[in-house]
A and B are shown apart, each in its own frame.
Chain A
Amino acid sequence: MSTRKLAMLLLMISPLVPHSQAEIKHIEMRVEGMT
């Protein structure tokens, strides 16, 4: 398989691979005294 075809294949399947990065996804605060 040519490098070009391999690169295209990787590009196509990359959205299907689970995102393996560590990250803070969401923060929720309960606050008091907000007007």
Chain B
Amino acid sequence: MKQHLRRQSGVQKVEVSLLDGKVDVTPKEDGAINPAGLLKATYDSGVSVAELDMTARGKIVKDAAGGLVFQVAPNRAFALVSSDLSKGLETLAGSTTWVTIRGQLYKKPAGKKKPEASPPLKLLILEVPSKE
């Protein structure tokens, strides 16, 4: 699995802890990393993903439907799951403020062995470490 993940674009380093089932991925600075691709690559290597968390820096914008989106690259953005934390960021939508967010992009649905094909990844904010 480690080799499989390391071959994904935008991946600099992969650290696997067998003891607690944790995989840490350090992205390259080229912005090419794709969390959905990592999720698929992990499943393709025969390992089931229970949860995927991400820490990223970006800007809060609104999509065409008025929903909040976290833009982490010109071509990569994640819709925000509505929560108290996301509502607290609503005033920053469209502003020049950089926000660092730690959030959950994927959680294995209870009772299901395999995930749905290409699940849309939405970001559930767990923590907002900084706003600049």
Fill in one digit per residue for B16-55: 1 if any A CB lies within 8 Å of its CB, else 0: 1010011111110101010100110010001111111111
Cβ-neighbour of B21 out of A20, A27, A32 (below 8 A): A32
Give every chain B residue within 8 A of A32 (Cβ-Cβ): 21, 47-50, 108
Known A29-B42, A32-B47, A33-B47: A23·B21 in contact at CB below 8 Å: no
Interface residues on A, range: 10 to 19
How near does chain A come to B2, taking the closest CB pair, in angstroms? 10
Please give, as numbers and ranges, the residues of chain B lying within 8 Å of A35 by CB-CB distance: 18
CB-based contact B49/A25 at 8 Å: no
Partner of A28, one of B22, B47, B132: B22
Shortest CB-to-CB span from B75 to chain A, Å, is: 11
Measured as residues with beta carbon below 8 angstroms from the partner, the interface class of chain B is 35 or more
Is the pair B50, A31 in contact by a Cβ cutoff of 8 Å? Answer: yes
5 closest residue pairs by CB, A with B: A22-B58, A27-B25, A29-B23, A30-B51, A26-B55
Q: Which residues does B use to contact A, with CB under 8 Å?
A: 1, 16, 18, 21-27, 29, 31, 33, 35, 38-39, 42, 46-59, 71-73, 76, 98, 100, 108, 132
Please count the residue pairs between chain A and chain B whose beta carbons lie under 8 angstroms apart in the complex.
101
Are the CB atoms of A29 and B52 closer together than 8 Å? yes
* Complex Cα–Cα for A28 and B51 (A): 8
A25 to B54, CA, bound (A): 8
- State the CA gap A24–B74 with chains docked (Å): 12
